[in-house]
Chains A and B, each alone.
Chain A
Amino acid sequence: MSEQPPAFQFATAAQQDEASTLGMWTFLATEVLFFGALLAGYSAYRITHPAEFAEAARHTKIVLGTANTAVLLTSSAFIATAVEMTNAGRRRAAALCLALTAALGIAFIAIKGWEYSLEYGEHLVPALNFDADRYGGIAQLFFLFYFFATGLHALHLAIGIALVGGLAGKSVSDRPPETITVRMIGLYWHFVDVVWIFLFPLIYLVGRNQ
């Protein structure tokens, strides 16, 4: 519950917190449909061209992808802990967990950047240097979706890192963030994590061993 008096349009602080929570969930519903449209398009082509997509997917870097999955899941554990620490009023512990969350987010983006540079070196980037003669036109479609989806995910993650980093700094300042703010940003972080949990198997795993 908020420590400050509620805004004028609310009767109680509890009502305000409930409104914020519902607002965030509604926003995440929008985001689900946003990514959902992309994954629906990807899946449609995957079904139309199963062999070509499976072949193209073998060029993705599964070790780096798996490492990133571990990094992101760990970051979610830290932000969940940060929410609990904030609830318990343990501000320094909360700040530490938030800082670790943001650091892991940055690590994810660094690994992703490394992965992108490897793919650039192998002429796998559509519109920049894709070698269609070597990989085929359908593989280009696959990599277009790959960069589109992982790029949008990374953009969402970057926004999350900025938010969480800001919270970490604020947690040790004179005016610590409200519990509800930490919880809201935590929800957003988990959402970005969940998007990756769908992207990882769809891109890296499906059909890899056929």
Chain B
Amino acid sequence: MMHGSGTETYLNAGTSLRSWLLTTDHKRIALLYFASITFFFFVGGIAATMIRLELVTPAGDLVSADGYNRLFTMHGIIMVWFFLIPSIPATLGNFMVPMMIGARDLAFPRLNLLSWYLYIIGGLITLTALLLGGVDTGWTFYEPFSTAYSNGYVVLTILGIFISGFSSVLTGLNFIVTIHKLRAPGLTWYRLPVFIWSTYSTSLILVLATPVLAMTLLMLTAERVLHVGIFDPALGGDPLLFQHMFWFYSHPAVYIMILPSMGVVSEIVPCFARKSLFGYKFVVWCSIAIGAIGFLVWGHHMFVSGQSLYASIVFSFLTYAVAVPSAIKVFNWVATMHKGWIHFDAPMLYAFGFIGLFTMGGITGLFLAALAVDVHVTDTYFVVAHFHYIMVGGAVMGYFGGLHYWWPKITGRLYPEYWARFAAILTFFGFNLTFFPQYVLGVLGMPRRYQVYPPEFQIWHVLSSAGASILAVGYALPLFYFAWSILKGPRAPANQWNATGLEWLTRSPPPPHNFSTTPEVVRGPYCYDLDGNPQPQAAHV
């Protein structure tokens, strides 16, 4: 509650550019990431806007066919590697992991800063490649097209992704060590907030999957630069091996994107229902199970590739299996709300949005896990709609929910609640209008990655593009009211939402080393009494 102008916070501890660019404070690094990924989010968004504009008419009239290929490739690469992968872990995770476990910083603060620089260097290299003329391979770089035929800046683009991969690995490593070794006294594993568990599971994937992508991209680069066969069948290689290796990373990468959002929702739902999280241990172990089983389902991207039918059957089964822990989580969030005292603040609205859209994306994922159905909808808009429901409807909704939830803590300012609720609702409707028509398009047979299409599909594309314009407003609004909040927003109290976590016990914004004294944790997270009063995890700090 103390917030005089004389109080030292992490924000006023140094104001020079140097104090930001050479900071090792996890909270400042989180803000560096926040600014950078916001930039990349809007770059990727511009590409998406061009795609949706092009698709309003059946003919190719806005960009050339080749330009269209480069647009969707740019959209995919930027959004996957430079926005979604780092989004929640590197911003909210970086800020909140030490705060929620009662630590003064991450275990390796300098490594954390290095991680941001690697991300920026990688991002700028890839951006340069995309602006010089781009790549036409799609974000998946399928062989042998990417080495033998593509005329884009494949190697430069890959170099950027390769470098930013080190950033992922170092961030994951830092979180793993921090969560293992820096928990406050009394904070046992089963007293950890679910956001910490989710971040932990995500970090394991970052550390174990990213190096496989790095090796795959190295091999691809060797083939393209040296003209020697590794994956190209004309040179004795096997393109299916590339797909196996690529998806061994890229499917778990989906869980890198969605698990942190699930963690955020697990924080928001108990807080705004003023009720303990239903089935805490189930939610925790489902987070770990999703991370583990997620390593074993990559072959479902290859059902029509010519891989062995028996492999496909096993991958299909495992894909159904990974849906089980996801579904358990959804039931637990809903059960948490049951008979709760629900507050409809903006973070909760985003969490509602997450639950609805994630469920939709998850169920259509089961359609795709079915071998016969998948043959019909492979590489159609059905797939596009499915993964956008997960990665945008799920992951981005969770990201925005977390951003609103922790905004008062991060900035020490309140945002305008009604504008935020409006943006959350607008995003939900805009999203559905954008992507639901794409399910229909997919079932009707519209293939993905096509610039020109038969006129009978136009109505669905127009609906989708109209939705995209609403969605764009939903995403742009927070830019304005968050900026207003930083400049003129009312001061935030220490615990804006009556939450129970350790991060709410310290000032808003927090002092440079988070807590004046190390908290002594006395109970698990999400404890509320019958009147809905929060029972903080530690008495005082």
A residues adjacent to B (C-beta < 8 A):
8-11, 15, 18-19, 22-23, 26-27, 29-31, 33-38, 40-41, 44-45, 48, 126-127, 130, 137-138, 140-141, 144, 148
**A44 CA / B237 CA spacing, docked (Å):** 11
**CA of A49 to CA of B48, assembled, Å:** 44
Assess whether A9 is in contact with B106, with CB atoms less than 8 Å apart: yes
B241 on the interface (CB 8 Å rule)? yes
A29 adjacent to B513 (CB under 8 Å): no
B175 to A, closest residue via Cβ:
A26
In the complex, chain B residues whose CB is within 8 Å of the CB of A40: 245
Query: How near does chain B come to A139, taking the closest CB pair, in angstroms?
Result: 10
- B209 & A22 in contact (Cβ 8 Å cutoff): no
Name the distance in Å between A181's Cβ and chain B's nearest Cβ.
Answer: 14
Residue of B with least CB distance to A18: B181
Question: Which of B103, B211, B226, B227 is the one whose CB lies under 8 Å from A33?
Answer: B211
Whether A126 contacts B226 by the Cβ 8 Å rule is yes
B109, B209, B236 — which one has the most chain A CB atoms within 10 A of its CB? B236
Q: Would you call B254 an interface residue if the criterion is a C-beta within 8 Å of the partner chain's C-beta atoms?
A: no
Asked if B518 is an interface residue, CB under 8 A from chain A, the answer is yes
Assembled-state Cα–Cα distance A23/B178 (Å): 9
Which of B215-223, B368-376, B406-414 participates in binding chain A?
B215-223
CA distance A138 to B235 in the complex (A): 9
**B177 at the binding interface (Cβ < 8 Å):** yes
> Contact: B228 with A126, CB < 8 Å?
yes
A127 near B226 with CB under 8 A, answer: yes
Contact B228 A29 (CB under 8 A): no
Asked if A141 meets B229 with Cβ closer than 8 Å, knowing A19-B177, A23-B173, the reply is yes
Is A37 a contact of B173 with CB atoms below 8 Å?
no
Q: Are B236 and A138 in contact (CB under 8 A)?
A: yes
Question: Is the pair B208, A33 in contact by a Cβ cutoff of 8 Å?
Answer: yes
Quick one: which of B134-157 are within 8 Å of A by CB? none
* A30: B residues at CB distance < 8 A: 169, 173, 207-208, 210-211
CA distance A127 to B103 in the complex (A): 52
Q: How far does the alpha carbon of A147 sit from the alpha carbon of B445 in the complex, in Å?
A: 46
Does A41 lie within 8 Å of B241, measured CB to CB? yes
User: Which single member of B107, B236, B513 contacts A23 (CB below 8 Å)?
Assistant: B107
Q: Are A33 and B236 in contact (CB under 8 A)?
A: no
Inter-chain contact B104/A9, CB cutoff 8 Å: yes
What residue of chain A has the Cβ atom nearest to residue B213's Cβ? A37
Residue of B nearest to A148 (CB): B222
Q: Are B219 and A41 in contact (CB under 8 A)?
A: yes
Task: List A contacts of B235 (CB < 8 A).
Answer: 137
**Do residues A44 and B214 form an inter-chain contact, with CB atoms below 8 A?**
no
Q: Are B518 and A140 in contact (CB under 8 A)?
A: no
The majority secondary structure among interface residues of chain B is helix
**Residue B105 at the chain A interface, CB threshold 8 Å:** yes
Interface string of B95-119 (1 = CB under 8 A from A): 0001000011111110000000000
Residues of A within 8 A of B176 (CB): 22, 26
Judging by beta carbons under 8 Å apart, are A11 and B518 in contact?
Answer: yes
Q: Is B212 an interface residue (CB 8 A)?
A: yes
Query: Are the CB atoms of B181 and A29 closer together than 8 Å?
Result: no
Given contacts A29-B207, A34-B211, 17 further A-B pairs with CB under 8 A are A9-B103, A9-B105, A10-B107, A15-B181, A22-B177, A23-B173, A23-B177, A30-B207, A33-B209, A35-B215, A38-B219, A45-B238, A45-B241, A48-B238, A127-B226, A138-B236, A144-B222
- Residue among B98, B103, B211, B248 with the highest chain A CB neighbour number at 10 A: B211
- Of residues 161 through 179 on chain B, the ones whose CB sits less than 8 Å from some CB of chain A are 169, 172-174, 176-178
Which residues B226-246 have CB closer than 8 A to chain A?
226-230, 235-238, 241, 245
24 pairs of residues in contact across A and B, judged by CB atoms under 8 Å: A8-B105, A10-B107, A15-B181, A18-B181, A19-B180, A22-B177, A22-B181, A23-B173, A23-B174, A26-B176, A26-B177, A27-B169, A29-B207, A30-B173, A34-B215, A37-B216, A38-B219, A41-B215, A41-B241, A45-B241, A127-B228, A137-B235, A140-B229, A144-B229
* Chain B CB within 10 Å, residue with most, of A23, A30, A37: A30
For chain B, the bracket of interface size reads: 35 or more
| B182 CB-CB contact with A under 8 Å | yes
**Cβ–Cβ < 8 Å partners of A41 in chain B:** 215, 219, 230, 241, 245
A37 touching B211 in the complex, CB below 8 Å, given contacts A127-B226, A144-B222, A144-B230: yes
- Chain B residue numbers with a CB within 8 Å of A19 are 107-108, 177-178, 180-182
Contact (A8, B104) CB under 8 Å given A22-B177, A30-B169, A41-B230? yes
A37 to B231, CA, bound (A): 14
Task: Report the bound CA distance from A58 to B238 in whole Å.
Answer: 23
A-B interface, 8 closest residue pairs, ranked by CB to CB distance from nearest? A34-B211, A127-B226, A37-B215, A9-B105, A33-B211, A37-B212, A19-B181, A19-B107
Q: Give bound CA distance, A48 to B238, whole Å.
A: 10
A38 to B241, CA, bound (A): 11
Known A-B contacts A8-B513, A19-B177, A29-B207; A141 and B215 likewise in contact (beta carbons under 8 Å): no
Residues of A within 8 A of B107 (CB): 9-10, 19, 23
Nearest-Cβ distance from residue A191 to partner chain B, whole angstroms: 13
Bound form: Cα–Cα A138–B229 in Å:
9
List, in ascending order, chain B residues with CB within 8 A of A126's CB.
226, 228
Contact of B108 with A23 in the complex, beta carbons under 8 Å: yes
Q: Name the residue of chain A whose CB is nearest to the CB of B181.
A: A19
A26-B237 in contact (CB<8A): no
Task: Report the separation of the CA atoms of residues A14 and B84 in the bound assembly, to the nearest whole angstrom.
Answer: 36
Contact call B227/A141, Cβ cutoff below 8 A = no
**How far apart sit A9 and B26, CA to CA, in the bound complex (Å)?**
11
CA distance A34 to B230 in the complex (A): 17
> B208 is contacted by which of A29, A138, A140 (Cβ under 8 Å)?
A29
Q: Who on chain A is nearest to B518 by CB?
A: A11
A34 touches B214 (CB 8 A): yes
What CA separation (Å) do A33 and B295 show in the bound complex?
13
Residues from chain A with Cβ under 8 Å of B180 in the complex: 19, 22
Bound Cα distance A203, B173 (Å): 32
CB distance from B251 to the nearest CB of A (A): 15
Q: How far is the CA of A34 from the CA of B248 in the complex (A)?
A: 12
Q: Smallest Cβ distance from B225 to chain A, in angstroms?
A: 8
Query: Closest chain B residue to A33 by CB distance?
Result: B211
Task: Please report the C-alpha to C-alpha distance between residue A137 and residue B228 in the assembled complex, in whole angstroms.
Answer: 10
Residue of A nearest to B212 (CB): A37
CB contacts (< 8 Å) of A33 on chain B: these are 208-209, 211-212
Option from B177, B212, B238 in Cβ contact (under 8 Å) with A36? B212
